[in-house]
């Protein structure tokens, strides 16, 4: 598939002015395809000029330009060349399109709980031509008039306000100018909850089998929606302008959510089935606030080309946590940002495929897609926090308002945003932007106590910042330092530090700290280097540190230590065993095992891994014993216990729905965790899996059954699972992911070694039928990371020398290979 070049997009935008789209979709023609009729009105600024149309159809029935027919055989791949264009043009295309199974384009899913079908449009980044003929680039915005024919028991939602004009016929009101990748249509027998806020009709929608869960959870969803509306309206000074506001929780969604104006789509795992915690609700609330911020920043003002789209995500990521902290009950949102989002971004920064936040000029759309990662989201949001520290919040908000007002319903570039900030602050930000946004890499921050007053007490400290040798930069860091003894904060100080310029911090101290933490409030983006005394004290003292952000910083430093092979993974495991069961933040408690689990297991010898799992099961049991039955902490602990214990009696009871902890009695996911663990241990098989599946005939149950069957330690199970993943079996994006997570198990290394070479042969070929967005995730999950050997690394290097890898597969391999190298370095240094 040809990816749109930046130069092509620039030339087409210079030639054309698109004034409107009229799109009709007929979704009542079968389960495999739908009919699409597109009418595009546009003008050609240079009559006689040539350009091309984007179209990815199964069959093209007719094409006319100003009523003159164009032969469909002129289509080359996804492009139709248009020549000798008149000044005013009306182009119409009638075509048959295919529903997708990979989450891109118009995705169709079946809920086996009731046999009902659901459709949703996800047109990011370049999937719009799979739905309608268009000029597919972000800076050719235009209004849309959309009509839809659908089965009579379906509802239809989209960017415009929906009206049912007759049975099975729907019209969406004319939209504001939209980029092609924001267009969506959601259709199916969705169930809905409606409300209104300040004159804006609100709708929340989900598939019918989740109706009970929606009714119970909709009040909270609507509450945070209204709180976010109010906060943004006050902050931005520009009203929401997209009519009704619908939030549709759709099945098999590749991302967390998509900011389609007026009709945001979310993964439907955010409508929780079974047990869930406040932390889960906070994550969903953050996503709601994030997508709503895009209504202004991204939708109303759209970046001109994909390489600036990081700014949309960085801004929405920052705003979502700011909004939760300022306008909702979730005052702990910045703790969540630190332990969840920043650690994701730190992981990306550690890989060879890291890039500057402002990632440089992407030559084509496909390469730009590779930069939507933890740098674009978490690092960008962290940098915006540093910008506010540099120019002040008042100037920041004034700059946002000016930027939105100047480019309302149009396109802009990063330079326009930076210019608005310079004008509002009266500060030249070019050097700041060069250091923070245009240079990749993480500085390393350390602190030492160096002066005592006449009474022998510490009176100052020195903060040092080291810039990466291969990516030097002169970044200002606004950081604080804190020291802790027991549960007391015995030392505090704050400074601005620069690379290569040690900064003296005047500290307020009341004692000698056991744990000394630079960047203790987690305000900057940096690697933290803990002094040896602090490292040694962590098993006994980390749990008593009273500040949540400081504990987040320490856990991040330990994870970095494992990645860089500078800290023995066994020491990190000891810290986990002593500190984690006593953790007081639910967010940290729930997140740390996910972050530390795979890196620690892969960095120790195979014969040590079962002992580490047993220790984690013991830690989970400690938390269960320590907390009130049914508490959120107990739910987190029970899930970890089910994934790590070797107590087969307990696992069998839980898989049967017996003896379950309070609050999990009707939770299907805990039963799946238990039976899957039994399968991994060789203590259960298809009969036990089918028994659980019989009680959970839902989309989630179907996927969990696939994962459990792929987890079996037998040649037959692995052969079946690999065939299901890597051959064109019609599996959806989610089914592929669940099969992959079951396939690779660290305890099954000998069984899996033959699949190392097969990964490098079979997975790249999947590009023929799996879209890049979905394929990158599949390629990540199917990488043979449990086989931590030099031979696996050599096989990865040989594959990366190929020239036929798609960008998604190459990115996944590069990053996974670097994690493999981390584990090998750690084994070499510490395994003896």
The residues carrying an active-site annotation are 291
Give the pairing type, strands 263-267 and 245-250: parallel
Output the furthest CA–CA distance in the chain (Å, rounded).
93
Q: Supply φ then ψ for residue 40, to 5 degrees.
A: -115, 125
Q: From CA 41, how far away is CA 36, in angstroms rounded? A: 16
- The total of other beta-carbon atoms located within 10 Å of residue 265's CB is 25
DSSP letter string, 516-573: EEETTT--S--EE---HHHHHHHHHHGGG---HHHHHHHHHHHHHHHHTT-S-HHHHH
Strand order in the sheet with 185-188: 105-111, 116-122, 185-188, 155-158
Taking the alpha carbons at both ends of the chain, their separation in whole angstroms is 49
SS3 content of the chain, % helix, strand, coil (to 5): 45, 20, 30
Tokens 């100037």 locate to: 395
Instruction: Using alpha carbons, select from 817, 812, 808 the residue that is nearest to residue 366.
Output: 808
Instruction: Using alpha carbons, select from 68, 83, 65, 44 the residue that is nearest to residue 133.
Output: 65
Judge contact between 514 and 485, C-beta under 8 A: yes
DSSP letter string, 345-403: HHHHHTSTT---SS----SBHHHHHTT-SHIIIIIHHHHHHHHHHHH-HHHHHHHHHHH
Q: From CA 145, how far away is CA 173, in angstroms rounded? A: 6
Provide the token pair at 79. Answer: 């492009």
User: Could you write out the three-class secondary structure of 103-142?
Assistant: CCEEEEEEECCCCEEEEEEECCCCCHHHCCCECCCCCCCE
Q: Supply φ then ψ for residue 140, to 5 degrees.
A: -110, 70
Strand partners, 462: 448, 504
Give the HSE-up count for residue 170: Cα atoms under 13 Å, Cβ half-sphere.
27
Q: From CA 306, how far away is CA 620, in angstroms rounded? A: 44
Rg (CA), the chain: 27
Which run of H or E residues covers position 206? strand 200-206
Which run of H or E residues covers position 326? helix 310-327
Q: Supply φ then ψ for residue 64, to 5 degrees.
A: -130, 145
Strand partners, 477: 497
Provide the token pair at 278. Answer: 């406040």
Q: Distance of alpha carbon 165 from its chain centroid, rounded? A: 38
Q: From CA 660, how far away is CA 367, in angstroms rounded? A: 48
The residues, any chain, with a CB within 8 Å of residue 567's CB and separated by 6 or more, are 535, 558, 561
Judge contact between 161 and 172, C-beta under 8 A: yes
Helices (H), 627-731: 632-644, 648-655, 668-680, 686-694, 699-710, 715-726
DSSP letter string, 48-93: T--EEEE---SEEEEEEETTEE--GGG-BTTEEEE-S--SEEEEEE
């Amino acid at each position: 598939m040809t990816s749109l070049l930046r130069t092509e997009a620039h030339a087409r935008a210079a030639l054309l002015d698109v004034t409107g789209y009229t799109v009709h979709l007929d979704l009542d023609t079968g389960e495999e395809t739908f009919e699409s009729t597109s009418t595009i009105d546009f003008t050609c600024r240079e009559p006689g000029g040539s350009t091309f149309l984007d179209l990815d159809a199964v069959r093209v029935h007719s094409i006319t330009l100003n009523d003159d027919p164009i032969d469909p055989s002129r289509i080359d791949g996804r492009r139709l060349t248009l020549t000798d264009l008149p000044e005013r043009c009306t182009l119409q295309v009638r075509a048959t399109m295919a529903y997708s199974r990979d989450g891109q384009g118009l995705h169709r899913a079946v809920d086996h709980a009731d046999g009902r079908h659901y459709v949703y449009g996800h047109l990011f980044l370049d999937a719009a031509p799979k739905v309608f003929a268009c000029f597919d680039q972000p800076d050719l915005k235009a209004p849309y008039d959309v009509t839809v024919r659908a089965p009579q028991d379906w509802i239809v939602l989209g960017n415009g306000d929906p009206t049912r004009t007759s049975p099975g016929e729907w019209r969406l009101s004319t939209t504001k100018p939209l980029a092609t990748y924001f267009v969506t249509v959601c259709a199916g027998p969705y169930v809905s909850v409606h409300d209104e806020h300040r004159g804006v009709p609100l709708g929340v929608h989900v598939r019918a089998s989740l109706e009970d869960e929606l009714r119970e959870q909709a009040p909270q969803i609507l509450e945070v929606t209204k709180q976010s509306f109010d906060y943004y309206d006050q902050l931005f000074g520009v009203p929401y302008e997209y009519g009704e506001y619908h939030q549709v929780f759709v099945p098999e969604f590749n991302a967390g959510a998509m900011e389609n104006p007026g009709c945001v789509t979310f993964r439907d795992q955010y409508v929780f089935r079974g047990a869930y915690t406040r932390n889960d609700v906070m994550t969903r609330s953050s996503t709601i606030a994030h997508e709503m911020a895009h209504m202004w920043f991204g939708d109303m003002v759209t970046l001109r080309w994909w390489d600036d789209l990081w700014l949309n995500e960085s801004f929405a990521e920052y705003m979502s946590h700011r909004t939760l902290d300022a306008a909702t009950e979730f005052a702990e949102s910045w703790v969540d940002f630190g332990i969840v989002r920043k650690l994701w971004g730190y992981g990306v920064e550690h890989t060879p495929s890291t890039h500057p936040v402002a990632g440089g000029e992407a030559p084509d759309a496909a390469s730009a897609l590779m930069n939507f990662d933890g740098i674009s989201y978490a690092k960008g949001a962290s940098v915006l926090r540093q910008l506010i520290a540099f120019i002040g919040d008042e100037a920041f908000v004034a700059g946002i308002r000016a930027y939105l007002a100047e480019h309302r319903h149009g396109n802009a570039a990063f330079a326009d945003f930076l210019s608005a900030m310079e004008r509002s602050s009266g500060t030249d930000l070019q050097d700041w932007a060069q250091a923070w946004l245009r240079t990749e890499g993480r500085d390393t921050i350390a602190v030492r106590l160096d002066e005592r007053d006449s009474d022998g007490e510490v009176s100052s400290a020195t903060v040092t910042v080291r810039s990466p040798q291969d990516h030097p930069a002169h970044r200002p860091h606004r950081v604080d330092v804190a020291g802790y003894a027991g549960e007391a904060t015995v030392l505090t100080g704050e400074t601005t530090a620069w690379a290569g310029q040690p900064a003296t911090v005047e500290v307020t101290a009341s004692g000698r700290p056991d744990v000394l933490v630079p960047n203790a409030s987690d305000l900057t983006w940096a690697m933290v280097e803990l002094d040896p005394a602090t490292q040694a004290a962590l098993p006994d003292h980390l749990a008593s540190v009273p500040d949540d952000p400081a504990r987040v910083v320490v856990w991040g430093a330990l994870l970095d230590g494992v990645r860089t092979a500078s800290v023995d993974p066994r020491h990190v495991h000891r810290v986990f065993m002593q500190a984690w069961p006593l953790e007081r933040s639910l967010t940290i408690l729930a997140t740390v095992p996910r972050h530390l689990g795979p890196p620690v297991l892969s960095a120790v010898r195979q014969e040590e891994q079962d002992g580490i799992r047993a220790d984690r099961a013991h830690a989970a049991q400690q938390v269960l014993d320590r907390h009130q039955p049914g508490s959120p902490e107990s739910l987190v602990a029970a899930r970890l216990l089910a994934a790590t214990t070797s107590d087969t009696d307990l696992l069998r009871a839980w898989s049967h729905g017996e003896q379950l902890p309070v609050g999990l009695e009707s939770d299907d996911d805990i039963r799946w965790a238990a039976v899957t663990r039994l399968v991994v241990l060789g203590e259960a098989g298809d009969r036990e899996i089918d028994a659980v599946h019989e009680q959970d005939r839902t989309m989630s149950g179907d996927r969990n059954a696939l994962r459990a069957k792929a987890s079996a330690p037998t040649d037959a199970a692995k052969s079946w699972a690999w065939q299901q993943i890597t051959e064109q079996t019609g599996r959806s994006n989610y089914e592929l992911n669940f099969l992959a997570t079951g396939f690779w198990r660290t305890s099954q290394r000998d069984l899996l070694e033959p699949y190392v070479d097969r990964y490098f042969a079979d997975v790249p070929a999947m590009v023929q039928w799996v879209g890049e967005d979905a394929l990158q995730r599949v390629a990540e999950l199917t990488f043979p990371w449990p086989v931590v050997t030099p031979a696996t690394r050599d096989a990865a290097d040989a594959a990366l020398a190929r020239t036929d890898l798609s960008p998604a597969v190459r990115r996944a391999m590069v990053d996974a290979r670097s994690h493999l190298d981390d584990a090998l370095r750690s084994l070499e240094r510490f395994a003896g």
